[in-house]
């Protein structure tokens, strides 16, 4: 086997190799375990390797394929899971010192579903402590230290699904799963130059995943391409009796449907406070998208987004972690902000929380109205490239502002995909975010896939991956 060849194959390519017996699932799992062990520590992207389970699952996958049983596109494909998902018998630290010895005796629903689809869990991946729920202002806010983007070891991977994005980017695993409350898939996907898909709220079960905010948390994949993300999402989606917010999904087609033309909306002011290269790359992306349909500017609905997200996350995270806030264990977190952030959440009023929640249905309606006139909304995923590891976030790029786009979409529960859109400051990647109506994942994936057929950014390999 050549040293890095399978590392950057798509899921269908690896599946073809497996079915042609060019490689076995066991070989593939060992290959990923080796790369995770060699390159993971440089990136700080790995929370725990799972060789025993991986080889057991891989052997079973090989045996089934040999016997003619094929579980589908993920059969025999290795993957990693953010350390916020329970995996039977393995440490599940939630990236946080108070939970460093936590072990669950069952799998999260998504881990079980991926197992049922034949995927092979090779590692738990690093994350920002408690998914950032207590607040943080630095890359080092994690039990495993500051996770690096494979594009520069001096720069952050993004968070909170840090290790998931960094590990896919560096070719340590073909795909990984992460979660988003408000940006935790989009941000690291952008900073690591990979494809990240945040599904509609309720499409993927959160059972067995750390709860940060019950009304905002979503589970989604990081992959090499939009098409891969669709394959992984298909295996994870659907109603789960163990998560009462989850909903049924009709049979979805792994090859997303194509529209002839797209009506593409751009939120007003979306590039007002972004880095010049981010603006340049977004404008170039718009020119590509412009060949696929019409582009028009749209005003985002006028809501107090920061107050809404603040009240909801403070209220729900304060309740979720009340025990470690009250007994002081939260003060063992790595981030100075995280050590104290939970205390003020105990003083958020119920009326403010409910007022925030009462604004979410009208926000949902406002987005539904927007999606009567456009099929998707697009913008730069983030206003900057990755932050330097050694600077507090608020000191990294003065004058930039991410704006309300991501927060608005999260409050509305609508899906989005981030795909690489080029490179900016110091050669670090930038992202293009495509958001769509609730449960319109096939549409946003289709547009992202079309964008990726006309660009090559997702084929670029970061320096760490080939060293």
Indicate which single residue of 66, 103, 354, 426 sits in contact with another protein (rule: CB under 8 A).
354
Site residues (CB under 8 A) for another protein, limited to 128-167: 128, 131-137, 158-160
With beta carbons less than 8 A apart as the criterion, state whether 155 and 386 touch. yes
Active site residue 157: no
Subset of 82-121 contacting another protein (CB under 8 A): none
Please report whether residue 429 would count as binding another protein according to CB under 8 A.
no
Q: Provide the minimum distance between the beta carbon of 158 and another protein in the complex, in angstroms, as a whole number.
A: 7
Is the CB of residue 171 less than 8 Å from the CB of residue 154?
A: no
Cα–Cα distances in angstroms (integers) from residue 185 to residues 50, 135, 136, in the given order? 23, 17, 16
Annotated active-site residue 162? The verdict is: no
Per-position b or e across 192-212, b if 16+ CB within 10 A of its CB: bbbbbbbbbbbbbbbbbbbbb
- 433 belongs to the binding site for another protein (CB under 8 A): no
- Using the minimum distance from each CB to another protein, give the nearer residue, 17 or 444: 444
Stretch that binds another protein, among 102-110, 112-120, 323-331, 426-434 (CB under 8 A): 323-331
Choice between 135 and 171, CB closer to another protein = 135
Of 157, 184, 314, 345, which is the active-site residue?
184
* CA distances, 320 to each of 312, 323, 329 (Å): 12, 8, 14
Q: Looking at 295-359, list the stretches that DSSP marks H as alpha helix, in order from N- to C-terminal side.
A: 305-320, 322-326, 336-345, 350-358
Q: Does 369 bind another protein (CB under 8 A)?
A: no
Which residue's CB is nearer to another protein, number 290 or number 328?
328
Residue of 152, 157, 160, 179 marked active site: 160
1 versus 307: smaller Cβ distance to another protein: 307
What residues from 208 to 227 belong to the interface with another protein (CB under 8 A)? 214-215
Which is closer to another protein, CB of 187 or CB of 421?
187
Quick one: which of 41, 276, 362, 427 contacts another protein (CB under 8 A)? 362
Report the distance separating Cα 150 and Cα 148, nearest Å. 6
Q: Which of residues 179-208 bind another protein (CB under 8 A)?
A: 181-184, 187, 202-203
| 345 is annotated as an active-site residue | no
Query: Pick from 416, 435, 432: which is nearest to 298 by CA?
Result: 435
Structure token digits, residue 57 = 């699952």
Site string for another protein, 53-82 (x = CB under 8 A): ------------------------------
Contacts of residue 166, defined as CB under 8 A and 6 or more positions apart, other chains included, come to: 43, 45, 125, 126, 147, 148, 149, 150, 157, 188, 192
Least spacing, CB of residue 79 vs another protein, in Å: 23
Closest by Cα among 75, 77, 176, 170 to 116: 75
Instruction: Please name which of 441, 387, 396, 457 lies closest in space to residue 128, comparing C-alpha atoms.
Output: 387
Cite the active site residues: 82, 160, 184
């Amino acid at each position: 086997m050549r040293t890095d060849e399978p590392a950057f194959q798509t899921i269908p390519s690896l599946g073809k190799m497996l079915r042609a017996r060019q490689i076995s699932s066991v070989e593939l799992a060992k290959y990923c375990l080796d790369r995770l062990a060699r390159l993971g520590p440089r990136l700080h992207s790995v929370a725990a390797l799972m060789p025993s389970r991986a080889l057991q699952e891989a052997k079973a996958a090989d045996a089934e394929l040999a016997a003619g049983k094929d579980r589908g596109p993920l059969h025999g494909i290795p993957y990693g899971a953010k350390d916020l998902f329970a995996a039977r018998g393995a440490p599940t630290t939630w990236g946080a010192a108070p939970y460093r010895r936590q072990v669950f005796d069952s799998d999260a629903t998504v881990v079980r579903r991926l197992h049922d689809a034949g995927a092979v869990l090779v590692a738990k991946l690093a994350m920002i402590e408690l998914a950032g729920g207590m607040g943080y202002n630095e890359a080092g806010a994690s039990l495993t230290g500051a996770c690096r983007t494979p594009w520069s070891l001096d720069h952050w991977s993004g968070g909170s699904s840090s290790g998931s994005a960094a590990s896919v980017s560096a070719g340590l695993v073909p795909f990984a799963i992460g979660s988003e409350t408000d940006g935790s898939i989009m941000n690291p996907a952008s900073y690591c130059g990979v494809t990240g898909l945040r599904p509609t709220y309720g499409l993927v079960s959160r059972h067995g995943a750390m709860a940060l905010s019950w009304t905002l948390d979503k589970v989604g994949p990081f992959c090499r391409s939009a098409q891969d993300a669709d394959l992984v999402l298909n295996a994870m989606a659907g109603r789960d009796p163990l998560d009462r917010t989850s909903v049924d999904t009709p049979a979805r087609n792994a090859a997303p449907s194509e529209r002839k033309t797209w009506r593409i909306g751009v939120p007003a002011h979306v590039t007002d406070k972004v880095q010049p290269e981010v603006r340049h790359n977004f404008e170039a992306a718009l020119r590509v998208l412009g060949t696929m349909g019409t582009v028009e500017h749209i005003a985002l609905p006028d809501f107090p987004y920061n107050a809404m997200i603040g009240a909801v996350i403070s209220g729900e995270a304060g309740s979720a972690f009340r025990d470690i806030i009250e007994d002081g264990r939260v003060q063992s977190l790595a981030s100075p902000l995280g050590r104290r952030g939970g205390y003020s959440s105990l003083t958020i009023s119920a009326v403010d929380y409910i007022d925030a929640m009462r604004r979410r249905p009208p926000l949902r309606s406002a987005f539904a109205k927007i999606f009567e006139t456009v099929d998707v909304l697009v913008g730069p995923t983030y206003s900057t490239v990755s932050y330097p590891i050694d600077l507090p976030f608020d000191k990294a790029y003065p004058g930039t502002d991410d704006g309300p786009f991501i927060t608005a979409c999260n409050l509305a529960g609508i899906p989005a995909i981030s795909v690489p859109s080029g490179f900016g400051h110091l050669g670090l990647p930038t992202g293009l975010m495509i958001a769509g109506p609730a449960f319109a994942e096939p549409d946003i994936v289709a547009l992202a896939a079309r964008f990726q057929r006309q660009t090559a950014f997702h084929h670029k390999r970061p320096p760490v991956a080939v060293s």
